[in-house]
């Protein structure tokens, strides 16, 4: 916190910039009093900036000689009346206590051992508020006058190569270096130096933009750069004024509909069958050859035979069929195919012949909560197995589109077993 | 069965950890800046006569190596010079702090207040022919390697008189035997290994100090450099300046192993009290001897402390208490430590100390003033395009953004 002026025993304590972007700060509180000694690292005062509260540490040992900017109403002006009085008496000090610019004096520090009574206060090193930014100073200098000594080489070198473009940095309105596209445009159209200063600029801080040059040249509409500028200016800041708070979400939502899933519908095809013919053949065989051929082998044989040469299935072709097609093998017969039905045989003591029973209550119906009227009429539970004497029921559960095919199969199956049982022996 | 094994392993682990931490707690390096000892009667009357100082046995900790002796010989002049050097660095850093807070210095600025003993101690142990490369906390090293205060402060202020002609700023300072100030965290370590390799290649009996912070020590490239250096027995000293805090984080919160001197694994290590300039000097001299003898690289750890924040935009009190900083300042300060020792040994009087401090302050103040008055660089293409090539090796021209900006080196602009 010391000034470089080594002649002065006392040095000014200026408002420090505690962050690169800080330009001003408010003193929250002094942690030391006038006359206090402090050592390096001690907190002298607390500063509040637009971003944070920060402590100012002493860099070196010393004594507080004088505090220039005090807190209003805390340490020295206890009453509101006194504050008002103070405001009236010295408005500039009052203004200073509110917000202190970086670099302006807030106190004087002396070295340890100095006599505060006889101490000569140094003059303020920063005349007037405002950061003593070297950068801004030089920038100001650049803006004020194009500083001939700053640019001679640039102008000279470009003058050597292309004399008519030496003006490009000299436009008084544009202290900035123009962008390459602008420089290029100016050069290709040979715009004179005087004309450049007459081009209205719309860029930030009066920068000459490509659009400005194009408008000047008449290549685009004259008002377009202005429009663009106003549009950019408008969208520079996010306008949140028209935002409304959304209404709370409705709690009561309609109960979810149970979606019906379309399952492939199956139908059952039934046919009554009698095994009396088969049994006759079986006993004949037993008598003639002494061989007992079980009923199941008759059924198996009949199934195999009935499956042959069925009408073509309406179902999508199976993988083996597709494979055969790829291999180029012709189907055995284009009209008919081999089926793969396996009939279910149940004993039904009574009941008429039914080709297709109404669909039974399935899981979808239960989920949907719909009751089928037919479900009320319960058929007696069928018993598995075969009875030799009474009628049996052969049934098939197949997809709906296969129904016709299944019927053909069952008719044939029945035919083999009832009328042509003898052929099943071989 | 498996679960029982797991459980027993889990039981065993904490026991081992406790035992380890206990062992390290007992053998830790001191950070006492005034732990050296010398008999007052042994101090000679002559200023340049060497006498023996014994360091505290806790000044060093070794890894896979015997380590330096705690007996060190110095002269009165050397001690005075060390003191002056440290005070000068401290003054210069304080001037930089002030200028930064006045917004005269912009951009990056990392100060080394509290770590002066490392820069001074290393410099006292090496010759100008040895090489140093460090990270961005480099002002003190630049000063010790021969740069003037004016050129350093001028560089911070962006003046033409700056050490890098005002183009480098705080992070980029170079002079003979000093390869900078490097902005990329940890990137100077492999470069340092390369400089060491150059020393070996040219057959020079010189070493290279590649310094980095505890924050950079976890960089992968640091370990790549270790590997190559050991593989080729490069005379390089990987020196970690452990100031206990990286950028906003304590070392033990960012590093799995905070014993940075053991990080080399297959490279011998040496942990040094970085607050005692004499211990730093002794260890650095020994490390130079070791590396230039052809034994290969070495890892060093200087245990030190920084008083300020990581950079100027870090208040430095969010991850540690102000009391801790003040305690380190009042009890372990390297400058105060040496001051106390040389007063005790009767080498200087209180008046001499005052005179030395005044000398440092006046020198720094004068040079800072000169730097502030120095001009900014001219905005000429000549200034812009210089220093890309070694003078004399430039091509005919360098392209600018447009045709007109092409710079011809032959036409001196």
pLDDT score recorded for residue A1? 46
In this model, does residue B360 exceed pLDDT 80?
yes
Contact B104 A138 (CB under 8 A): no
pLDDT score recorded for residue B278? 96
Please compute the mean of the pLDDT values over residues B81-99 and round it to a whole number: 96
In this model, does residue A3 exceed pLDDT 60?
no
Pairing state of beta strands A53-57 and A62-67? unpaired
d(CA B137, CA B37): 31
Number of Cβ within a 10 Å radius of residue A89: 9
CB neighbours of B100 closer than 8 A, spacing ≥ 6? A17, B109, B156, B312
Provide the pLDDT confidence category of residue A385 given band limits of 50, 70 and 90. Answer: low
Pick the range with the lowest mean pLDDT from A44-48, A186-190, A347-351, B218-222: A347-351
Provide the pLDDT confidence category of residue A334 given band limits of 50, 70 and 90. Answer: low
> Which residues in chain B touch residue A139, judged by CB atoms under 8 angstroms apart?
none
Please compute the mean of the pLDDT values over residues B185-191 and round it to a whole number: 96
Pairing state of beta strands A105-110 and A11-14? antiparallel
* Average pLDDT taken over every residue of chain A: 72
Pairing state of beta strands A100-101 and A105-110? unpaired
In this model, does residue A129 exceed pLDDT 50?
no
pLDDT score recorded for residue B355? 96
Tokens representing residue A76 in the block: 């020295």
**From the list A17, A39, A134, which residue is nearest B157 (CB)?**
A134
d(CA B294, CA B286): 13
**In Å, how far is B259's CA from the nearest CA of chain A?**
29
| pTM of the shown model | 0.61
* Angle at B129 (CA atoms; ends B124, B130), nearest 5 degrees: 60
Half-sphere CA count of B214, side-chain side, radius 13 A: 30
Please compute the mean of the pLDDT values over residues B75-101 and round it to a whole number: 95
pLDDT score recorded for residue A286? 85
In this model, does residue B147 exceed pLDDT 70?
yes
Please compute the mean of the pLDDT values over residues A62-77 and round it to a whole number: 70
In this model, does residue A128 exceed pLDDT 60?
no
pLDDT score recorded for residue B287? 97
Percent of chain B clearing pLDDT 90 (strictly above): 77
**From the list B94, B100, B381, which residue is nearest A60 (CB)?**
B94
CB neighbours of A95 closer than 8 A, spacing ≥ 6? none
In this model, does residue A380 exceed pLDDT 80?
no
pLDDT tens per residue, range A8-55: 568 888 888 888 788 888 888 889 988 889 988 889 998 888 778 888
In this model, does residue A371 exceed pLDDT 70?
no
In this model, does residue A164 exceed pLDDT 70?
no
More confident residue, A72 or B219: B219
d(CA A177, CA A183): 9
> Which residues in chain A touch residue B382, judged by CB atoms under 8 angstroms apart?
153
pLDDT score recorded for residue B25? 43
User: Which value does ipTM take for this structure?
Assistant: 0.75
pLDDT score recorded for residue A159? 38
Provide the pLDDT confidence category of residue B337 given band limits of 50, 70 and 90. Answer: very high
pLDDT tens per residue, range B378-397: 988 888 888 888 888 888 88
pLDDT tens per residue, range A227-239: 998 888 888 888 7
Please compute the mean of the pLDDT values over residues B341-350 and round it to a whole number: 94
> Which residues in chain A touch residue B408, judged by CB atoms under 8 angstroms apart?
157
Chain B nearest-CA residue for A101 = B102
> Which residues in chain B touch residue A55, judged by CB atoms under 8 angstroms apart?
315, 317, 322
Please compute the mean of the pLDDT values over residues B337-344 and round it to a whole number: 94
Contact A157 B408 (CB under 8 A): yes
Percent of chain B clearing pLDDT 70 (strictly above): 93
Contact A6 B408 (CB under 8 A): no
- Three-state SS string over chain A comes to CCCCCCCCCCEEEECCCCCCCCCEEEEEEECCCCCCEECCCCEEEEEECCCCEEEEECCCCEEEEEECCCCCCCCCCCCHHHHHHHHHHCHHHHHHHHCEECCCEEEEEECCCCCCCCCCCCCCCCCCCCCCCHHHHHHHHHHHCCCHHHCHHHHHHHHHHCHHHCCCCCCCCCCCCCCHHHHHHHHHCCCCHHHHHHCCCCCHHHCCCHHHHHHHHCCCCCCHHHHHHHHHHHHHCCCCCCCCCCCCCCCCCCCCCCCCCCCCCEEEEEEEECCHHHHHHHHHHHHHHCCCCCHHHHHHHHHHHHHCCEECCCCCCCHHHHHHHHHCCCCCCCCEECCCCCCEEEECCCCCCCCECCCCCCHHHHHHCCCCHHHHCCCCCCEECCCCCCCEEEEEEEEHHHHHHHHHHHHHHHHHHHHCHHHHCC
> Which residues in chain B touch residue A102, judged by CB atoms under 8 angstroms apart?
101-103
Quick check: A310 and A337 in contact, CB under 8 A? yes
Number of Cβ within a 10 Å radius of residue A350: 7
pLDDT tens per residue, range B23-82: 444 457 888 888 889 888 889 988 999 999 999 999 999 999 999 999 999 999 999 999
């Amino acid at each position: 916190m010391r000034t470089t002026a080594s002649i002065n025993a006392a040095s000014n304590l200026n408002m420090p910039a505690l962050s690169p972007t800080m330009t001003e700060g408010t003193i929250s509180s002094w942690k030391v009093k006038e006359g206090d000694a402090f050592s390096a690292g001690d907190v002298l005062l607390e500063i509040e900036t637009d971003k944070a509260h920060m402590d100012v540490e002493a860099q070196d040992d010393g004594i507080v000689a004088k505090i220039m900017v005090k807190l209003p109403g805390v340490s020295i002006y206890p009453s509101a009346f006194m504050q008002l009085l103070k405001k009236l008496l010295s408005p500039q000090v009052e203004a200073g206590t509110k917000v202190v610019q970086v670099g302006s004096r807030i106190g004087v520090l002396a070295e340890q051992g100095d006599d505060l009574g006889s101490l000569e206060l140094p003059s303020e090193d920063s005349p007037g508020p405002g950061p003593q930014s070297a950068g801004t100073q030089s920038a100001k200098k650049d803006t004020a006058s194009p500083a001939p000594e700053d640019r001679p080489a640039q102008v000279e070198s470009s003058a050597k190569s292309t004399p008519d473009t030496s003006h490009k940095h000299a436009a008084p309105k544009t202290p900035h270096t123009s962008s390459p596209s602008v420089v290029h445009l100016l050069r290709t159209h040979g715009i004179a130096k005087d004309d450049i200063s007459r081009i209205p600029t719309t860029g930030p801080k009066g920068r000459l933009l490509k659009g400005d040059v194009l408008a000047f040249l008449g290549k685009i509409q004259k008002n377009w750069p202005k429009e663009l500028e106003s549009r950019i200016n408008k969208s520079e800041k996010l306008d949140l004024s028209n935002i409304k708070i959304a209404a709370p979400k409705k709690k009561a939502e309609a109960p979810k509909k149970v979606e019906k899933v379309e399952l492939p519908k199956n139908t059952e095809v039934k046919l009554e069958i009698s095994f009396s013919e088969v049994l006759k053949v079986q006993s004949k065989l037993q008598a003639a050859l002494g061989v007992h051929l079980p009923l199941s082998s008759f059924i198996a044989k009949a199934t195999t035979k009935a499956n042959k040469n069925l009408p073509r299935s309406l179902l999508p072709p199976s993988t083996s069929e597709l494979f055969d097609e790829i291999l180029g093998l012709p189907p055995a017969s284009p009209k008919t195919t081999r089926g793969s039905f396996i009939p279910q045989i149940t004993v039904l003591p009574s009941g008429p012949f039914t080709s297709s029973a109404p669909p039974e209550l399935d899981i979808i119906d239960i989920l949907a909560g719909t009751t089928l009227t037919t479900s009320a009429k319960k058929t007696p539970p069928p018993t598995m197995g075969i009875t030799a004497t009474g009628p049996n029921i052969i049934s098939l559960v197949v997809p709906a589109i296969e129904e016709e095919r299944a019927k053909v199969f069952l008719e044939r199956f029945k035919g083999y077993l009832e009328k042509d049982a003898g052929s099943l022996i071989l | 069965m498996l679960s029982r094994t797991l459980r027993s392993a889990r039981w065993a682990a904490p026991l081992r950890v406790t035992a380890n931490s206990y062992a390290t707690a007992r053998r830790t390096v001191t950070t006492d800046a005034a732990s050296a000892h010398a008999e007052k009667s042994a101090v000679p009357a002559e200023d340049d006569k060497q006498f023996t100082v014994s360091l505290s046995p806790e000044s060093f900790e070794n890894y896979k190596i015997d380590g330096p002796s705690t007996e060190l010989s110095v002269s009165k002049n050397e001690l005075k010079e060390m003191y002056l050097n440290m005070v000068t660095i401290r003054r210069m850093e304080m001037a930089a702090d002030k200028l930064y807070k006045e917004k005269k210095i912009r951009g990056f600025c990392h100060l080394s207040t509290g770590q002066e003993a490392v820069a001074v101690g290393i410099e006292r142990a090496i010759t100008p022919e040895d090489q140093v490369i460090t990270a961005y906390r480099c002002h003190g090293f630049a000063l010790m390697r021969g740069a003037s205060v004016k050129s350093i402060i001028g560089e911070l202020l962006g003046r033409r008189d700056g050490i890098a002609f005002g183009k480098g700023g705080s992070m980029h300072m170079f002079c003979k035997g000093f390869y900078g100030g490097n902005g990329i965290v940890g990137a100077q370590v492999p470069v340092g290994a390369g400089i060491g390799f150059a020393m070996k290649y040219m057959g020079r009996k010189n070493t290279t100090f590649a310094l980095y912070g505890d924050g950079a020590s976890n960089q992968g490239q640091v370990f790549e450099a270790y590997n190559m250096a050991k593989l080729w027995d490069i005379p390089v000293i990987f020196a970690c300046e452990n100031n206990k805090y990286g950028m906003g984080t304590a070392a033990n919160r960012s590093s799995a192993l905070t014993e940075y001197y053991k990080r080399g694994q297959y490279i011998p290590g040496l942990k040094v009290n970085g607050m005692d300039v004499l211990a730093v000097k002794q260890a650095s001299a020994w490390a130079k001897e070791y590396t230039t003898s052809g034994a290969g690289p070495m890892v060093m750890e200087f245990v030190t402390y920084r008083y300020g924040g990581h950079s100027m935009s870090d208040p430095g009190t969010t991850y540690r208490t102000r009391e801790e900083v003040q305690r380190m300042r009042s009890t372990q300060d390297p400058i105060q430590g040496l001051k106390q020792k040389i007063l005790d040994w009767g080498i200087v009087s209180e008046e001499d100390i005052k005179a030395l401090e005044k000398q440092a302050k006046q020198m720094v103040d004068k040079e800072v003033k000169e730097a502030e008055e120095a001009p900014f660089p001219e905005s000429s293409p000549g200034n812009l395009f210089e220093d890309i090539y070694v003078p004399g090796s430039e091509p005919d021209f360098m392209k600018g953004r447009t045709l007109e900006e092409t710079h011809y080196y032959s036409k001196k602009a």
